[in-house]
Chain A
């Protein structure tokens, strides 16, 4: 059993890295495309057709694929006024609710995203402005992103159950300032 979990852990680690890599690449591609469009418009008076639609679908997929990394590092913004003062037992209950609500949210979004992606595949959805640009693969990436997040939360929940009190959760929740060196929030 332990071996299976370790194997899943390793698999998920590579999946997370791949998702983050694709997501980061998506971000720089978005910036490059938008800049290229601006230059093309100003220099040659020839805006590139369908650029904003392309950026839109890349953004949706990129962001969804990046969430798993945020989840793994527990970098979500938390307002943890009470957590600092909870006893280990109460913290375990809070931890349980944390996972329940996280699984509920991401599970629902993931489920509905697959329905949306399946529909998109069925109709072979393409861009409305540029006929050759396929939209459905990006919707699959979008659904996949949320599904990987769901798997990561389940992994964290199982790990928390197996190891008793989740020290990571305790650390991330009780020490907000540790999270603050990451560049979040306006």
Chain B
């Protein structure tokens, strides 16, 4: 076997071992990458890389998109935008059976256009939607599963941090990848709504018959209050799509906009502002440290020749695009059951993307599929980060067995969307092709 392949396999085994015994993912990747560089390039090569790479990553303007999107999400949540969205869509959908599930889906989808984090979405909507659903006699497991599933919309709908990470790791345009997630994100929302309608028809006990009806006036009032939020989303997405703003600048404008909305509506106190700022700061540090680790590891894998060798081997198998996509989907689905989404992206993308490119797969299309798979990883038991988030945010109202059972219909819906995205690449590539 080629030495580079042995080095690469040893690195992955070491990484999994360190992760399994509880070493933080970021430190595992930095350690393995650094030791690998020492072995292949000498001590100086390792120290020079460790001296330059962390600073050059953290001082790269394009990476500023991550803290800005996170800040926008936390400030928007603190400004009460989520509660408002839930209230507005509840008034519109309350007359339908399963209306609260649908309200969660739509409100989470709209909030995804402000918050790039699936975890923020899941945590926030568990606190808002779960008590309402339980109070109205909705199925507990399905409610929890719905919140966890809807939380994943933030991974596709811009400003998606997952898309930004994929762009960072593959040198693709951040703006193009962000816009590529719009139609797949909307498709996912649509499939969820149709899926919920079918589910509650098949099993009426999952959602009680609607009891409240709102007048047209009440509904129209709610829609009026939606204007500032839609304006904010429009400025951020419009800025990125038109190319008038860098994604980082769009995120910054979005964050200041969310702050402004919160202040105007007197919903943002000094305490909640400070809390959301600190929360965004910590989240940024966690995420960027993992990215530093991922890039150090990927640099080692590239320098060792592992990536090019593996690409050549897989090219030699003569797989066509579909076979490759199906194989990668199965690989991610299995891996996603045990590894958290960000770590999975950082460990796999550096060698999965060159393989896909070598086979001739469209990078944008492939990025959307990978992010969809990563989204699925967030809700597939036993290690689904969104499932844990919902459990943790529900004040022990939801058990793991409740949510593991309740999320399965949504995993099925996600698989349907995944199939559609693979079958119809245009869903992912249409908007980027118009930019």
Contact = CB atoms under 8 A, between A and B. Distances in A.
Interface of A: 20, 23-24, 27-28, 30-35, 37-38, 42, 52-53, 55-57, 59-60, 62-64, 66-67, 69-70, 73, 75-83, 86, 94-95, 97-98, 101-102, 104-106, 108-109, 111-113, 115-116, 139, 142, 146, 169, 173, 176-178, 180-186
B318 to A, nearest CB: 34
Interface stretch (B96-104, B188-196, B287-295, B353-361): B287-295
Given A101-B18, A180-B389, A108 B50 contact: yes
Contact of A35 (B20, B253, B284): B253
Contact of A185 (B28, B274, B287): B287
A183 B119 contact: yes
Contact of B160 (A27, A116, A182, A186): A186
B408 interface: no
In this complex, the member of A104, A108, A146 whose beta carbon has the largest number of chain B beta carbons within 10 angstroms is A108
B338 interface: yes
Contacts of B118: 185-186
A139 to B, nearest CB: 7
Nearest to B155: A186
A186 B339 contact: no
B9 to A, nearest CB: 19
A76 B50 contact: no
A31 B63 CA distance: 13
Contacts of A86: 21
Contacts of A109: 30, 50-51, 54
A34 B137 CA distance: 47
Given A177-B388, A183-B280, A77 B342 contact: yes
Interface of A, helix, strand, loop or mixed by DSSP: helix
Interface in B23-43: 23-28, 30-31, 34
B281 interface: yes
8 contacts: A32-B256, A73-B282, A76-B26, A77-B286, A82-B21, A86-B21, A180-B388, A182-B279
A98 B19 CA distance: 9
Given A142-B58, A183-B117, A185-B340, A80 B249 contact: no
B20 A79 contact: yes
A14 B91 CA distance: 48
A78 B385 CA distance: 11
Contact of B71 (A27, A66, A176, A178): A27
B393 interface: yes
B151 to A, nearest CB: 11
B176 interface: no
A56 B61 contact: yes
A80 B17 CA distance: 10
6 closest A-B pairs by beta carbon, nearest first, are A112-B51, A34-B252, A76-B24, A186-B161, A177-B388, A66-B285
A32 B254 CA distance: 11
Contact of B383 (A62, A79, A94, A183): A79
Interface centre among B23, B154, B342, B389 (most CB of A within 10 A): B23
Nearest to A96: B21
B281 A24 contact: yes
A69 B284 CA distance: 12
B52 interface: yes
A28 B64 CA distance: 12
A180 B392 contact: yes
Of listed A67, A146, A173, residue having the most chain B CB within 10 A: A67
Interface of B: 18-28, 30-31, 34, 46-48, 50-52, 54-55, 58-61, 63-64, 67-68, 70-71, 73-74, 116-120, 123, 154-155, 160-162, 164-165, 239, 244-245, 248-249, 251-253, 255-256, 274, 277-290, 338-343, 383, 385, 388-389, 391-393
Contact of B116 (A24, A33, A38, A186): A186
Interface of B is mostly: helix
Contact of B55 (A95, A105, A116, A185): A116
Contacts of A35: 249, 252-253, 255-256
Given A79-B20, A105-B31, A183 B253 contact: no
B59 A59 contact: yes
B392 A31 contact: no
Nearest to A37: B249
Contacts of B58: 59-60, 63-64, 142
A52 B282 CA distance: 22
B22 A173 contact: yes
Contacts of B24: 76-78, 98, 102
A20 B255 CA distance: 19
Contacts of A53: 61
Given A102-B27, A108-B47, A169 B22 contact: yes
Contact of B252 (A30, A67, A173): A30
B27 A105 contact: yes
Nearest to B29: A105
Given A62-B281, A67-B289, A180-B119, A186 B23 contact: no
Contacts of A108: 34, 46-47, 50
A97 B21 CA distance: 8
A8 B273 CA distance: 31
Given A67-B289, A79-B25, A116-B51, 11 more contacts: A24-B274, A34-B251, A59-B63, A77-B290, A81-B338, A82-B21, A94-B22, A176-B383, A180-B389, A183-B119, A186-B154
A105 B277 CA distance: 27
A163 B185 CA distance: 49
